[in-house]
């Protein structure tokens, strides 16, 4: 079985590079970063990630907008999403998990072990890509 594919969408190249390095260095994940939020859904359709990491502190297109657009896409709608944000507290992040479907939240600043744990938890819900291709 191949590595789990993770798409990181963050307008800050340093943040996406750091998150990507944490995930890749674990040896379990193949990572693609997208720093242009307007290309996030297109990148997801081409890369076929198993999990998407979305920054909600975006300046161009909000991570929630990307999540909604992906949710309407018949191929992408089943991808679990981890939303990273400094806009809510850790307790709010936990409470939001209950009512947001396939979205999970992780409050910034993110510790490497918390990122790895959250991604590993989402990976357990990843459906087979072959079942999503129309």
Report the SS3 class of residue 84.
Answer: strand
For the segment 58-89, what is each residue's pLDDT rounded down to a tens digit? 454 567 788 888 889 998 988 999 988 776 55
**Total-model pTM:** 0.82
The domains of the chain are located at: 4-124
Fold of 4-124: Rossmann fold (3.40.50)
Q: How far is CA 10 from CA 1, 36, 95, 117, 129, in A?
A: 28, 8, 23, 20, 24
Top-confidence residue, 99 or 69: 69
pLDDT band at 110; cut points 50, 70, 90: confident
Decide if 73 contacts 55 (C-beta within 8 A). no
For the segment 4-33, what is each residue's pLDDT rounded down to a tens digit? 999 999 888 998 999 999 999 999 999 999
């Amino acid at each position: 079985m191949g590595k789990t594919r993770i798409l990181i969408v963050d307008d800050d190249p340093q943040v996406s590079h750091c998150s990507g390095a944490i995930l890749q260095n674990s040896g379990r994940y193949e990572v693609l970063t997208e720093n242009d939020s307007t290309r996030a859904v297109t990148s997801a359709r081409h890369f076929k990630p198993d999990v998407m990491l979305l920054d909600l502190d975006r300046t161009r297109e909000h991570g929630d907008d990307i999540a909604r657009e992906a949710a309407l896409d018949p191929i992408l709608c089943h991808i679990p999403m981890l939303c990273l944000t400094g806009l809510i507290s850790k307790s709010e992040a936990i409470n939001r998990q209950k009512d947001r479907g396939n979205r999970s939240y992780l409050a910034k600043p993110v510790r490497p072990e918390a990122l790895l744990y959250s991604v590993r938890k989402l990976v357990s819900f990843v459906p087979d890509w072959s079942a999503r291709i129309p």
